[in-house]
Chains A and B, each alone.
Chain A
Amino acid sequence: MNEMKKLDVPIERDWFFRRMIRTFAKSLEETVGVSEASGYVALVGSEMGQWIESEYQKSADEDCFGREEVAEMLVDLKRRIGGDFHIVSVDENRIVLGNRKCPFDELAIGRPSLCQMTSNVFGRITANQLGYARIELEETIAKGHDGCHIVIHLKPDGDTTPEDQHEFYPQEESCASE
């Protein structure tokens, strides 16, 4: 008879929850479609972004951060949850980030709605801090790329936004709100 606790089964809490979220995303995508599922995930991502921003604000005892600090915050928060993001470049027009490891690991592959979590967390924090964000997911592990390449545009580009990109505006009472 096998002694269960001695078996080498790759189940632990973090893996369990990541798998659970992936399963939720899969069920949503299959039930209501990728577009609708992305909407639900975006709602969660926005709320998570606001919460994460407030945690950094409390910890730093500051409400507002500069461009470089925001870029570092985004990389840092991903590091804390198991990602491997890095800053590619930062200038007045955009923050460009790269990533070699998704916090969801390979579980993200084929589940593009999960990218809306990152997109909305980044967009929410950046817009609240710097006044505007437009997230362009150039490459994503979810879509089969080796890594992620994310461009966060900091200035609007005319009145039209590409269909696969989303704009974010500062919330009321945020650092960048008037």
Chain B
Amino acid sequence: MANALTHTLCQGIVSRLEQEIILADRSGRILYANERAREGIDGEIEERRLRDIFSDTDPAPLEKLDYAMSSTQWMPANLTFAHGSLAGVEVKFRARGYREDGQVRLLLIGDRNRDEGFRQLRDLVRRLNDELAEKRDLAHRLQRALDSEANLHRELIHRVKNNLALLTALVSLRRNATPDEAVEQALKDLEMRIHAIRAVHDILDQAGEISKVQAGELIRALCSQLDNSVMPENVTVENELLDVTLDVDKATPLSLLINELITNAAKHAFPEGKPGTIVVSLQKNGEDKLEVGIVDNGRGAQGDFTQVGTGSRIIEALADQIGGELKRVSDDKGTHWSFIFPHDKPEEDAGLERGGALQE
């Protein structure tokens, strides 16, 4: 069997091996390089030395070849081709010495397997980097789209706010022109309801927000507006407000609801100039609920609040819309409205802020 492995066959096999194979003499002169190794050798190999074909930018790997050449033990050698199609490519070699006819030779064999684990790791890192860059680009584009949408939304809020202001002015103009007291009152109620909606948009517009409103700020602005428009001089409005963030979907009906309750108290609780106070509060009720309280020390209300007037039907509808529970307790010492509703973002609560009296 050994005879079958002829010198010619051996040469043919070695010549076509995928690994680089280089044989050099003691002085570093190249005696043989297979086809793969010749890709890294620019031109003929005759009279070429290892120092001619491998980069000596870092001379240490070349110097270590002397150790490998002086022993038959395989040693690692990382060498970088300086020329040819493999220029700049670092190849992991295994190197060892050989003794033939009293002469010592250096055998270098490319050992790509030694680098395979690192290569796979590099490929994986490169792939992950590419994916990361792609995802970053996508995130950037999505963010720009979101920013653009938010800008459009803010612009829309601004226009709605201006249109509501225009609508309020038109209603106010008509109210001032009517001789009929009932019509005037109806228009006044309408005007205040529009304003309650507008207050939400004012705050959104000022904060540059599109979906979240600071509830304390909203109720304070609403109280201030009511105090300046419908509140008789004998009535003081005070507030105790927790600063929490509300979705605009809840803030708008809540603003209308509070507007109705304060307006009702201003209209009915203090007849004939009787002095009194309306206290508006917002506080936590348990972990995931908020409670709005509207308390007056007026004369008290009669009957079931669900049985009377358009305002009451509006109040009930608004409470249902928010998904809260509205209660009223009333006696001759005043009326206490309590509205408890779910709050999805208790972590955004900023703490209890107590406001002062709004009375002039």
B73 near A169: Cβ-Cβ < 8 Å: no
Q: A171 with B76: in contact, given A32-B114, A36-B114 (CB under 8 Å)?
A: no
Q: Which among A42-50, A68-76, A96-104, A139-147 touches the partner chain?
A: A42-50
Of B67, B72, B73, B94, most A-chain CB atoms within 10 Å? B73
Q: A42 with B26: in contact, given A167-B99, A169-B99 (CB under 8 Å)?
A: no
B73 near A116: Cβ-Cβ < 8 Å: yes
A39 near B70: Cβ-Cβ < 8 Å: no
Using an 8 Å CB-CB cutoff, how does the interface string of A150-169 with B read, 1 for contact, 0 for none?
A: 00000010010100001111
Does B104 count as interface, using CB distance less than 8 angstroms?
yes
Does A92 count as interface, using CB distance less than 8 angstroms?
no
Q: Which among A17-25, A52-60, A78-86, A119-127 touches the partner chain?
A: A119-127
A40 near B73: Cβ-Cβ < 8 Å: no
**Interface of chain B, main secondary structure:** mixed
B97 near A167: Cβ-Cβ < 8 Å: yes
The answer for the CA separation of A120 and B66 in the assembled complex, in Å, is: 13
The answer for the CA separation of A119 and B71 in the assembled complex, in Å, is: 11
**Interface of chain A, main secondary structure:** helix
Who on chain B is nearest to A174 by CB? B70
B99 near A39: Cβ-Cβ < 8 Å: no
A167 near B94: Cβ-Cβ < 8 Å: no
Residues of B with C-beta under 8 A to A120: 71, 73
Of A39, A119, A123, most B-chain CB atoms within 10 Å? A39
The answer for the CA separation of A127 and B100 in the assembled complex, in Å, is: 17
A47 near B73: Cβ-Cβ < 8 Å: no
Does A172 count as interface, using CB distance less than 8 angstroms?
yes
Give the number of chain A interface residues (Cβ < 8 Å). Answer: 27
Shortest C-beta distance, B53 to chain A (Å), equals 20
Q: A169 with B76: in contact, given A32-B114, A39-B94, A156-B99 (CB under 8 Å)?
A: no
Q: A161 with B26: in contact, given A46-B67, A169-B104 (CB under 8 Å)?
A: no
Shortest C-beta distance, B59 to chain A (Å), equals 15
Does B190 count as interface, using CB distance less than 8 angstroms?
no
Q: A47 with B70: in contact, given A36-B114, A169-B99, A169-B104 (CB under 8 Å)?
A: no
Residues of B with C-beta under 8 A to A93: none
A43 near B75: Cβ-Cβ < 8 Å: yes
B70 near A168: Cβ-Cβ < 8 Å: yes
Does B32 count as interface, using CB distance less than 8 angstroms?
no
Residues of B with C-beta under 8 A to A119: 73
Give the number of chain B interface residues (Cβ < 8 Å). Answer: 19
Residues of A with C-beta under 8 A to B26: 172
Does B64 count as interface, using CB distance less than 8 angstroms?
yes
Of A120, A123, A167, most B-chain CB atoms within 10 Å? A167
Q: A166 with B66: in contact, given A32-B114, A156-B99, A172-B26 (CB under 8 Å)?
A: no
Who on chain B is nearest to A119 by CB? B73
A123 near B71: Cβ-Cβ < 8 Å: yes
Residues of A with C-beta under 8 A to B75: 39-40, 42-43, 46
The answer for the CA separation of A116 and B97 in the assembled complex, in Å, is: 16
Residues of B with C-beta under 8 A to A167: 71-72, 97, 99
Does B337 count as interface, using CB distance less than 8 angstroms?
no
Residues of B with C-beta under 8 A to A35: 74
Does A112 count as interface, using CB distance less than 8 angstroms?
no
A166 near B73: Cβ-Cβ < 8 Å: yes
The answer for the CA separation of A81 and B94 in the assembled complex, in Å, is: 31
Does A129 count as interface, using CB distance less than 8 angstroms?
no
Using an 8 Å CB-CB cutoff, how does the interface string of B327-356 with A read, 1 for contact, 0 for none?
A: 000000000000000000000000000000
Residues of B with C-beta under 8 A to A118: none
Who on chain B is nearest to A170 by CB? B70
The answer for the CA separation of A171 and B73 in the assembled complex, in Å, is: 15
Task: Tell me which of B66, B73, B97, B104 contacts A39 (CB under 8 A).
Answer: B73
Pull 30 A–B residue pairs with CB atoms less than 8 Å apart, ordered by A.
A32-B114, A39-B73, A39-B94, A42-B67, A42-B73, A42-B75, A43-B68, A43-B75, A46-B70, A46-B71, A46-B75, A50-B67, A119-B73, A120-B73, A124-B71, A127-B70, A159-B100, A161-B72, A166-B71, A166-B72, A167-B72, A167-B99, A168-B71, A168-B72, A169-B70, A169-B97, A169-B104, A171-B67, A171-B70, A172-B66
5 closest pairs, A vs B, by CB? A46-B67, A167-B72, A166-B73, A42-B73, A169-B104
Please give 13 more A-B residue pairs, beta carbons under 8 A apart, in addition to A167-B72, A170-B70.
A39-B73, A40-B75, A42-B71, A42-B75, A43-B68, A47-B64, A47-B67, A124-B67, A166-B71, A167-B99, A168-B71, A169-B99, A169-B104
